[in-house]
Chain A
Amino acid sequence: MKSNKSRRGILSRLIKALFFREKTAKIGIYGPPNAGKTTLANRIIHTFVDENEDIGVSTEVPHETRRAVRRGGIIIDVKSKSVQNPNPNSNPESMTAGRKAKGRLKLDVVDTPGLATKIDFHEFMAYGLEEEEAKRRAKEATEGVIEAIKWLDDIDGIVLLMDSTKDPYTQTNIVIVGNMEARGTPIIIAANKMDLADAAPQRIINAFPQHPVIPISALKGENMEALYEEMARRFR
């Protein structure tokens, strides 16, 4: 009797595993250099996996991430998190009003190198790097850009990170958005660095009105719940 029950349990688990498996979405974090992609990837991992685990290192030197890094097995469960507006004065959630969603999303996060059309080793020397080191970094950065582009073939959705203190209408942003639209890949734009005094997320909303734009501060963890909700809604 007991063994029959146990067999049925195994069978039901097997059926569930085969036919009702939770799909894992592969989500790429894309954007220009220094937009805060690694900071965002680290924030997601700290929140949902392990607060002591980092996917990469963030510094002020551009192209710090020169290899795409994938972290699997992340479960975003927005039901278990309270929804708050961390910055009531700016009221960023009003920009995503009516779009609240609850749910669970199993995903792999891919932190990608920053996309750029030019990489000049002199730029790294301005941050104090020796000439040889700057040249090596520039070479690795070009390889990183190619790797980030290649990854586009393997991802199910992207979080495009833009710096809210900068002009969003750059060609790399336009190219990424255009490519995702052509492929029909879901896209969320995260307007990062909303905590800075000169941040203007509205400029990003005006530039890309056809896509959801969520103002966040990946560094300070502000308005992250709105981003997780949108991810759970769009990438499920």
Chain B
Amino acid sequence: MEIKMDMISEDKINSMGSMEKLRFVLDGVKSGNIVVLEGGLTPEEQMKLIELTMMEVNEDFPGIEMSGYPAKRGFLNLRRKTRLTVIGPAKVMRTIKKEKDLISAMISAI
């Protein structure tokens, strides 16, 4: 089985509204794709994505696996810069190692 990976640029993500972005990610993941977001999601968006995912969990879709780096503090600690986030279906993706600057994920076809 082939697994598709969508790598989404920061520009594309920034052109979307918050809900549009989450819908786009979740629809991609529910179709079986791994979605990599260059600019990442904010912690608030990630929490919303968890909430949205839980509303759609069923026997065929047990949820998502998500990995990303924490947001970086910007000028005067005011602006937070989000970084890469990887989201995939829990059935095929499993984070096997996660450190401050390293994410290792296993992707296995069913």
Residues of A within 8 A of B43 (CB): 174-175, 177-179, 181-182
Q: Which of A49-57, A84-92, A113-121 contacts B (4 or more CB under 8 A)?
A: A113-121
Contact with A along B57-85 (1 / 0, CB 8 A): 10100111111101100000000100000
Write the nearest CB–CB distance from A63 to chain B, whole angstroms. 12
Count of interface residues, chain B, beta-carbon cutoff 8 Å: 27
**Size class of the A contact interface (CB-based, 8 Å):** 20 to 34
Whether A200 sits at the interface, judged by CB under 8 Å, is no
Closest to B85 in A: A171
In the complex, B23 has a CB within 8 A of chain A: no
B18 at the interface (CB under 8 A from A): no
Interface, chain B (partner A; CB < 8 A):
42-44, 46-47, 50-51, 53-55, 57, 59, 62-68, 70-71, 80, 90, 95, 98-100
In the assembled complex, the Cα of A71 lies from the Cα of B51 at a distance in Å of 25
- Which residue on chain A has the smallest CB distance to residue B82? A178
Known: A171-B95, A181-B43. A135 touches B64 (CB 8 A): no
Q: Give B63's nearest chain A residue, CB to CB.
A: A118
Q: Are A149 and B62 in contact (CB under 8 A)?
A: no
Residues of B within 8 Å of A167, CB to CB, are 98
